[in-house]
């Protein structure tokens, strides 16, 4: 008997360029198809950091070179990345299913994700996107466009946007119907296209939602048993990189909180994965989360590796 599984794919499963991505998703597809063959029902979320940055940079560069080329709002850049990554994923998955003589529908849903317009993240945008600029260039663009910029590790100034928490999935009914029908679904790409409610309408906003939190919302939506967060390591470690480094097979919620208080998990790396896993586990009794690598996903679901949070 398999699990109902929501998978959050990290950047290592996608690559940084179109050529890298086409190659990477072939390996990714093999692992996901194997999970389906083992009887698991699968929905997939993914990041889009390099991809949306590439799209945003191309659009900005074109517009600055020739004002006749329209500037592209950031939510639209996110939508473009969802379609582009979704195409590569569903193509690779479809080909892998065909290779194994399995007729399993695969579909990408361009997904809007509702965020709270009063989320504190909007008061302090901190997520860097796009190109590097000199201080003077950043000031000029800020005057023209109203963008906010921050200095980035001595490399120049970059535009920053908010990273609010997901509240709801706009296309949830369609996604739920597709999942119950047995489709393998790619949704919530890049954390989803952030929208707020304004005048009884959904309006896109320039922001980046963490893909692990959005995949957790997708997992709640389809009533998944397990949220699988895939990363570069097979297991979570405490005292990472030190002599007393310890790899963990499982963590309770109390242990998660303890390790967070100790500062065991890096804010820009493992911490959001742990927090997303905890949010899903707390959302309903019996739900579990698993953090592991793409290569070991099937072994981890079988209980042979990975870090389980219950």
Counting as low any pLDDT under 70, the low residues of the chain are 1, 11-12
φ/ψ (deg, to 5) at 219: -65, -40
Is 211 an active-site residue? yes
Of 2, 4, 12, 26, catalytic: 12
- Rounded to the nearest 5°, which phi and psi values hold at 87? -60, -50
Active site residue 165: no
Q: Alpha-carbon distance 195 to 209, whole Å?
A: 10
Q: Which one of the listed residues 41, 127, 172, 217 is annotated catalytic?
A: 127
**Of the listed 165, 172, 217, 273, which one is catalytic?**
273
Contacting residues for 261 by C-beta, under 8 A, at least 6 apart: none
pLDDT in tens, 133-172: 899 998 988 898 888 999 877 889 988 889 999 999 999 9
Separation of alpha carbons 10 and 12, rounded Å: 5
Whether 91 sits among the annotated catalytic residues: the reply is: no
Residue 26 annotated to the active site: no
> Looking at 41, 172, 211, 296, which residue is catalytic?
211
For residue 236, the model assigns a pLDDT of 96
Question: Which residues, listed in sequence order, are joined to residue 290 by a DSSP beta bridge?
Answer: 228, 308
CA distance readout (Å), 33 to 13, 107, 219? 14, 14, 18
User: Exactly one of 2, 11, 62, 156 is catalytic; which is it?
Assistant: 11
pLDDT, residue 64, reads 83
Please say if 41 is a catalytic residue.
Answer: no
């Amino acid at each position: 008997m398999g699990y109902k599984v929501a998978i959050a794919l990290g950047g290592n499963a996608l690559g940084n360029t179109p050529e890298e991505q086409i190659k990477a998703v072939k390996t990714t597809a093999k692992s996901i198809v194997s999970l389906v063959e083992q009887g698991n029902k699968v929905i997939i979320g993914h990041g889009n950091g390099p991809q949306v940055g590439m799209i945003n940079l191309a659009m900005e560069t074109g517009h600055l070179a020739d004002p006749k080329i329209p500037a592209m709002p950031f939510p639209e850049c996110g939508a473009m990345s969802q379609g582009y990554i979704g195409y590569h994923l569903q193509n690779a998955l479809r080909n892998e299913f065909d290779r194994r003589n399995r007729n399993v529908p695969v579909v990408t849903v361009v997904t809007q994700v509702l965020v709270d317009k009063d989320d504190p993240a909007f008061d302090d945008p901190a997520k860097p996107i796009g190109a590097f600029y000199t201080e003077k260039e950043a000031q000029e663009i800020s005057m023209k466009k109203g963008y906010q910029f921050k200095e980035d590790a001595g490399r120049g100034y970059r535009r920053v946007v908010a990273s609010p928490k997901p509240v709801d999935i706009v296309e949830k009914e369609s996604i739920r119907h597709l999942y119950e029908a047995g489709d393998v679904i790619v949704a919530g790409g890049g954390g989803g296209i952030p929208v707020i409610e304004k005048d009884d309408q959904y309006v896109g906003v320039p922001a980046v939602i963490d893909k692990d939190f959005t995949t957790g919302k997708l997992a709640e939506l389809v009533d998944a048993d397990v949220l699988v967060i895939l990363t570069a390591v097979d297991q979570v470690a405490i005292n990472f990189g030190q002599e007393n480094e310890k790899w963990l097979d499982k963590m309770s919620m109390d242990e998660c909180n303890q390790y967070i208080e100790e500062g065991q998990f890096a804010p820009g790396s493992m911490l959001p994965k742990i927090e997303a896993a905890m949010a899903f586990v707390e959302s309903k009794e019996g739900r579990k989360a698993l953090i592991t690598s793409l290569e070991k996903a099937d072994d981890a679901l079988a209980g042979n590796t990975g870090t389980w949070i219950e």
